[in-house]
Amino acid sequence: MFDKSQLMRGTLEGCILKITSLKATYGYEIMENLRSFGFDEIKEGTIYPLLIRLENKSYITSEFRSSPLGPNRKYYSITSEGVHYLHDFEKYWGRVSISVNKILNWEAM
């Protein structure tokens, strides 16, 4: 069976950075955004370690904010380092996805 964990982790990091570049948001909302774009198998156990890793790399920051529905929530925002990393990710992803799609759609001659 195809081990998608490595491919998924790198891809999700770029997607999380994109989501946090649009607005400050919390983990569950990030997960729901990812699911709405087709990442149906995403679980909290996948998202939170990635958020910690992105924060440790200084690509995102976090702060607790009050929530209208209960306890405070930890909101994540992209940093300037994160913006640069996201820009590089977007350029590289564009090139890689075109190449992979060409190969996967290649018919034997």
Starting at the edge strand that comes first in sequence, how are the strands of the sheet with 70-78 ordered?
25-26, 70-78, 60-67
**Domain boundaries defined on the chain:** 5-104
* 40: DSSP letter: T
At 49-75, the pLDDT tens digits run: 999 999 999 999 999 999 888 899 999
Distances (CA, A) of 61 to 44, 74, 75: 19, 10, 8
- Considering the domain 5-104 in this protein, what is its CATH number? 1.10.10.10
CA–CA separation, 12 and 89 (whole Å): 11
User: Each residue of 26-45: pLDDT tens digit?
Assistant: 999 999 999 999 999 888 88
* Residue 7 banded pLDDT, cuts 50, 70, 90: confident
- Provide the pLDDT for residue 4: 73
Question: Angle formed by the axes of helices 5-22 and 44-56, to 10°?
Answer: 70
